[in-house]
């Protein structure tokens, strides 16, 4: 009985450790570093961009909510351009497994981005899902903002109205643009954690 109890306790401890390892990075703490290859074969490390604000956007081009903010409205490209006008780097990340919905190669990403005016700095592939899981990215789109010191200052959705209707964008609060206004003013991000909405990230398991 004593051995059984010890086994249960050990199992519980391992479960807690596993959950802790998968926990989302906390706003206000250093953003976890990573390296991923873009669609052109170039490797990008988050730490290489220290000194710049970096936006991480989890994306799936075929997700209806992603489509809402790209081809149906131009909202995401406009947000990308506004961020880059402030000197930010915008990294779009697809954590879908090989063959998943929206798993585009360089040619398809190029066609899609040109058609929709996408303005990301780089489009990264995370086919084993390690970086997505490191950040606990569960939906597309999910966005994180890392400040120039490498600290996570925003995590969540693109805006305040979780619908699939592009007509709602004009009356929604764009959380990413609001965060950049705070960063530019030198004040803490007022709404630093929000709820992302969209399609589930297409992880391998």
Q: What is the CATH number of domain 25-200?
A: 3.40.30.10
pLDDT at 173 over 90: yes
Structure tokens that stand for 117 in this block: 């005016």
The pLDDT value recorded for residue 22 is 54
Q: Distance between CA 60 and CA 64 in Å, rounded?
A: 9
The pLDDT value recorded for residue 13 is 38
pLDDT at 5 over 80: no
Q: Distance between CA 113 and CA 117 in Å, rounded?
A: 6
- pLDDT category of residue 205 using cuts at 50, 70 and 90: confident
Q: Residue 7 belongs to what H/E stretch?
A: helix 2-22
Read off the pLDDT of residues 174-185 as tens digits, 9 standing for 90 and up: 999 999 999 999
The pLDDT value recorded for residue 24 is 77
pTM over 0.85: yes
Domain ranges of the chain: 25-200
DSSP 70: T
The closest of 142, 134, 153, 168 to 24, measured between CA atoms, is: 134
- Pick the residue with more confidence: 20 or 69? 69
- Residue range 137-166: average pLDDT? 98
Percentage of residues of the chain with pLDDT beyond 70: 89
């Amino acid at each position: 009985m004593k051995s059984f109890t010890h086994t249960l306790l050990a199992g519980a401890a391992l479960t807690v450790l596993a959950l802790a390892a998968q926990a989302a990075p906390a706003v206000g703490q250093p953003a976890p570093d990573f390296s991923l290859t873009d669609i052109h074969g170039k490797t990008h490390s988050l730490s290489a961009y220290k000194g710049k604000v970096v936006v991480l956007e989890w994306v799936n081009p075929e997700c209806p909510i992603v489509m809402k903010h790209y081809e149906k409205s131009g909202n995401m490209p406009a947000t990308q351009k506004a961020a880059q006008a402030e000197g930010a780097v915008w990294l779009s990340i697809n954590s879908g497994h090989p063959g998943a919905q929206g798993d585009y190669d360089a040619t398809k990403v190029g066609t899609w981005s040109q058609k929709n005016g996408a303005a990301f700095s780089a489009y990264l592939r995370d086919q084993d899902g390690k970086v997505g899981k490191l950040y606990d990215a569960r939906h597309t789109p999910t966005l994180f903002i890392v400040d120039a010191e490498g600290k996570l200052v925003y995590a969540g959705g693109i805006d305040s109205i979780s619908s699939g209707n592009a007509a709602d964008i004009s009356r929604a609060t764009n959380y990413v643009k609001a965060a950049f206004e705070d960063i530019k003013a030198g004040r803490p991000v007022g709404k630093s954690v929000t709820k992302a909405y969209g399609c589930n990230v297409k992880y391998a398991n």
